[in-house]
Amino acid sequence: MNTKKFAIMIVSLALAATSAFAWSKKSENTGNLGRMFLSVSGGVNMQKGSLVKGGGGVQPLDMSKSSPTGAAASFVINAPIFKPGVNAFRNIKWAGIDGQLFFNYNYSGDYSFNWLSGINNATQKITQDNYSLGATILPYLNFETDLPFLKAIKPFGIAYAGYQWEDTDCTLTSGASSSNYGTHDNYFIYGVGGGVEFVILDELSFTPTWKWNASSQSGIPCYQTVGAELAYWMTDQFCISAFWEHSFGGDYSVTSTTPDTLSVKHGDVFGAKIKIGFMR
């Protein structure tokens, strides 16, 4: 799928979601699901990895894992496609569907490893950064309660597809010589998952999630992530939240003088979000 076709598909999905939401009546919202909002987030990306030298090469001398600190950011547009109890077509209160468009950016920081090259100690630095564009569908169930500190429970599914651009840069330094290598890829990404939104109060919600992530590119592993978000809607138009996401990692092939393997043991992203809501 080329970039032009993918962009047309994303625009079509956005127009379809907007058209569907235009039939919704104005209503009070609780939690995040069922709201129309824009979300901007940023955070610190902390990972841990080790290097396995390919082609019969020796292992890194420093056997402790490299732990770089990078960054992560995202921009999300969320719109209800079907909202519980207020859709013009049918009054269903126990289910809904949200649609999202997303743009994500991740920067790993520098993985640094020392290893023996002939009579010299060599230093290898590896940096990864990527950005992706895509769409997500979030079907959910809506169970309202009469409890004072638990307004609703909303289990939901996650299904997304998109396109990702990734750069992996590698610098080898041995003695007085230095060489640069790297790969620049773009490929289709997709994933599924689920979670539960606990609406504690009308303004406050807690949402744990799980996702399985994959791509069409060889050398890019499938990986799983878990996370949680605590969101507080100060008004119907403004929300602040804190989030955490943990990646269970995977093995990435790295092009250098030999086909090395960067084993990302795990990673964590800690950050905050600002959401701007739009009542209809």
Q: Which candidate, 125, 197, 123, 133, places its Cα nearest to that of 163? A: 133
Q: Give per-residue pLDDT as tens, 89-120.
A: 556 788 899 999 999 999 998 888 887 765 56
Bridge partners of 280, per DSSP, are none
- CA-closest candidate to residue 207, choices 81, 28, 10, 35: 35
Distance CA 74, CA 145 (A): 33
Task: Label residue 262 exposed, middle or buried (CB < 10 Å: 0-12, 13-18, 19+).
Answer: buried
Say what the pLDDT of residue 27 is: 44
Residue 272 has pLDDT above 80, yes or no: yes
Tens-place pLDDT, residues 166-176: 888 888 887 66
Q: What is the pLDDT of residue 89?
A: 54
pLDDT class for 23, splitting at 50, 70, 90? Answer: very low
In this prediction the pTM is 0.81
| pLDDT greater than 90 at residue 226 | yes
* Least reliable range by pLDDT among 37-41, 72-76, 183-187: 183-187
Q: Give every CB contact of residue 220 below 8 A, 6+ residues apart in sequence.
A: 166, 185, 187, 252
Q: Please, what is the average pLDDT of the chain? A: 84
Quote the tokens at residue 161.
């597809």
Higher per-residue pLDDT: 161 or 28: 161
3-state DSSP assignment of residue 217? coil
What does the alpha-carbon distance between residue 70 and residue 107 come to, in Å, rounded to a whole number?
A: 5
Distances in Å between the Cα of 18 and the Cα atoms of 95, 106, 259 are 19, 28, 47
Q: Which CATH number characterizes residue 74's domain?
A: 2.40.128
Higher pLDDT, 255 or 137: 137
Q: Do 190 and 214 contact (CB within 8 A), yes or no?
A: yes
Q: Domain span at residue 73?
A: 3-277
Contact status, residue 195 vs residue 136, Cβ threshold 8 Å: no
Paired with 117 in beta bridges are: 120
18/81 Cα distance (integer angstroms): 8
| pLDDT computed for residue 135 by the predictor | 98
Task: Name the helix (H) or strand (E) containing 222.
Answer: none
Whole-angstrom distance, CA of residue 24 vs CA of residue 276: 19
Per residue in 135-166, pLDDT tens? 999 999 999 888 888 999 999 999 999 999 98
Phi and psi for 74 in degrees, rounded to 5?
Answer: -155, 155
pLDDT band of 22, cuts 50, 70, 90: very low
Structural domains counted in the chain: 1
Lowest average pLDDT, out of 9-13, 23-27, 160-164, 274-278, goes to 23-27
Distance CA 11, CA 2 (A): 15
What distance in Å separates the CA atoms of residue 96 and residue 21, rounded to the nearest whole number? Answer: 12
Helix residue ranges, H only, the chain: 3-21
pLDDT at 88 over 80: no
CB neighbours of residue 210 within 10 Å = 13
Whole-angstrom distance, CA of residue 124 vs CA of residue 254: 11
